[in-house]
């Protein structure tokens, strides 16, 4: 990948991640499904956020930053991986969590193990994280530190470059296996992963990307993905995607961060057919969306499904 504005990159992930056929799952679904195993990216317990962190940390180091400030929920995969990436490169890390202070378990415990500092907003509104991240960064600057403040999910054009790069990786794997053109399905939360993949898939002319929203209403996701994809295209020096992004609604279940019955059913199917675990917050709900679409006859395949990681939430999410 090249481009005059492309930021520096540090290596965090074990790449390429496998692209695996899922024959027994495909038989049940009635369409050809392949699994892109980004749960195996290598940092910590793996996950899709590692790709974006390669660019975000590269940018931070190039700026001379010494402290990363970001956040999410207490169980955030993003926040834990961001803390690990920062600590691996010698930066301090502060993670801001919405709500009242709770014991550090799951991802929060793993972040504390890496000596990240946790701070709680005292407000159950998820948007409170972004406000307090900026406040913490201001405090650190006043104390003479050089913080990099990142919003939830690292959903910036720089962070989304990770999945534009992944599209190049996928292009090589699909060519080697003779698969394509394909549709790419994934969970969409903060929209950075879909934004990068939307730009990268259009750039590489691979097919279409379908996000299953697990957080925001679909129209909001479409706006965010569009803006992020345009930002990524600008960084790459390539045309922005001509087509609008596709985001599927209706699979949120009881709410963000909570497991759903159809998601649990989809995750159990993938576990017993392919021996792969999907986290209940993102991957399981996205697979439920894909399976529902196949039952309606809306998907012809081949499909590449992004397994985005999140293993710690398998044990902590109710």
Q: Residue 281 contacts by C-beta under 8 Å, 6 or more apart in sequence?
A: 75, 214, 256, 257, 258, 259, 310, 313, 317
In this structure, what token pair is assigned to residue 91? 């930066």
Burial of 295 (0-12, 13-18, 19+ CB in 10 A): exposed
Contact between 247 and 222 under an 8 Å Cβ cutoff? The reply is: yes
Contact between 149 and 63 under an 8 Å Cβ cutoff? The reply is: no
CA distance 312 to 304: 24
Q: Which of 76, 128, 215, 308 is catalytic?
A: 76
Q: Does the active-site annotation cover 308?
A: no
CA distance 71 to 284: 23
Closest CA relative to residue 41, chosen from 14, 19, 20, 78: 14
Active-site residues: which are they? 76
């Amino acid at each position: 990948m090249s481009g005059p504005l492309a930021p520096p990159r540090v290596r965090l992930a074990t790449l390429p991640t496998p692209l695996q056929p899922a024959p027994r799952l495909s038989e049940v679904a009635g369409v050809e499904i392949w699994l892109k195993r980004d749960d195996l990216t290598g940092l910590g317990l793996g996950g899709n956020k590692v790709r974006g962190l390669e660019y975000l940390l590269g940018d931070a180091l190039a700026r001379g930053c010494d402290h990363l400030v970001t956040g999410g929920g207490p169980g955030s995969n993003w926040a834990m991986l961001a803390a690990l990436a920062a600590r691996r490169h010698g930066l301090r890390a502060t993670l801001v969590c919405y709500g009242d202070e709770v014991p550090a378990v799951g991802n929060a415990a793993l972040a504390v193990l890496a000596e990240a500092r946790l701070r709680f907003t005292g407000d159950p509104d998820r948007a409170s994280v972004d406000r307090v991240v900026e406040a913490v960064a201001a405090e650190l600057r006043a104390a003479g530190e050089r913080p990099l403040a990142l919003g939830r999910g690292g959903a910036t054009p720089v962070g989304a470059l990770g999945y534009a790069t992944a599209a190049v990786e996928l292009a090589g794997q699909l060519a080697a296996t003779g698969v394509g053109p394909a549709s790419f399905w994934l969970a969409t939360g903060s929209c950075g992963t879909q934004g990068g993949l939307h730009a990268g898939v259009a750039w590489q002319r691979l097919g279409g990307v379908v996000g299953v929203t697990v957080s925001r209403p679909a129209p909001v996701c479409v706006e965010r993905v569009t803006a992020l994809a345009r930002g990524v295209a600008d960084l790459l020096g390539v045309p922005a995607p001509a087509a609008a992004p596709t985001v599927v609604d209706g699979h949120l279940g009881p709410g963000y961060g909570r497991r759903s019955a159809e998601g649990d059913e989809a995750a159990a199917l993938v576990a017993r057919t392919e021996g792969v675990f999907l986290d209940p917050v993102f991957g399981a709900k996205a697979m439920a969306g894909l399976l529902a679409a196949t039952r309606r006859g809306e998907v012809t395949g081949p499909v590449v499904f992004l397994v985005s990681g999140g293993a710690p939430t398998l044990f902590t999410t109710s």
